[in-house]
Structure 1
């Protein structure tokens, strides 16, 4: 944790907060999102291209030794969770209709 302006430790962000932040960015890019909270499993962000409903992906947020990252469902990193714009750009590109 890092100190904020008041000198107290900033609260740690949660996996769900990271996914919600990415979801907001993806909605601005025209994608549809739904936060999925399955019992006994990690939450994920289900993302769909509304113009081609077959183009979907489940995005995860996981913390490792080097910080929080967004991950594809096939266990490949997308971008650091602190770079939401870069993550949203990559997801939008992959789900784009070509």
Structure 2
């Protein structure tokens, strides 16, 4: 228990677990994904549209005061990390090949 009498928040998942779940959801939508673990940096998910090789993005997951969030590489939030389907839908829409 914390000094204020509240139960401490238990960690839900690790960054890698969140990114792996998102990678699975994006793979199921036909995207190529690669989890990267750069030395001294946070893990990231590289996502590529196989139909348009220029359409790629690196997705991060970071903890904020209001929970874990998926982030675009340009430092904009995507969705809460617990909303894997919502994040995958948004990423798929941004990386969709033009018709």
> TM-score when scaled to structure 2?
0.87
Paired residue total: 90
Structure 2 alignment gaps of length 5 or more: 1-8
> TM-score when scaled to structure 1?
0.88
Cα displacement (A) at 1:65: 0.3
The residue aligned with 1:31 is 31
CA displacement, residues 18-60 of structure 1 (integer Å, 9 cap, x when unaligned): 0000000000000000000000011100000000111000000
C-alpha separation in 2, matches of 1:11 and 1:75: 23
Structure 1 alignment gaps of length 5 or more: 1-8
The secondary structure found in structure 1 opposite 2:47 is strand
Structure (1/2) with the larger strand percentage: 1
Cα displacement (A) at 1:84: 0.4
**Do structure 1's residue 59 and structure 2's residue 67 form an aligned pair?**
no
